[in-house]
Chains A and B, each alone.
Chain A
Amino acid sequence: DAGITQSPRHKVTETGTPVTLRCHQTENHRYMYWYRQDPGHGLRLIHYSYGVKDTDKGEVSDGYSVSRSKTEDFLLTLESATSSQTSVYFCASRLDPYNSPLHFGNGTRLTVT
Chain B
Amino acid sequence: AQTVTQSQPEMSVQEAETVTLSCTYDTSESNYYLFWYKQPPSRQMILVIRQEAYKQQNATENRFSVNFQKAAKSFSLKISDSQLGDTAMYFCAQGPYGGSQGNLIFGKGTKLSVKP
Contacts and interface: CB of A to CB of B under 8 A. Distances in A.
Interface stretch (B12-20, B66-74, B100-108): B100-108
Interface string A78-92: 000000000010101
Given A99-B97, A104-B44, A106-B43, A50 B109 contact: no
Contacts of A103: 47
A107 B43 contact: yes
Interface residues of B, number: 26
Nearest to B104: A102
Interface string A9-49: 00000000000000000000001010100001111110010
B99 A104 contact: no
A56 B98 CA distance: 16
Interface string A35-72: 10000111111001010000010100000000000000
A40 B104 CA distance: 18
Interface of A: 31, 33, 35, 40-45, 48, 50, 56, 58, 88, 90, 92, 94, 96-99, 101-104, 106-107
Interface of B: 6, 33, 35, 42-45, 47, 50, 52, 91, 93, 95-104, 106-109
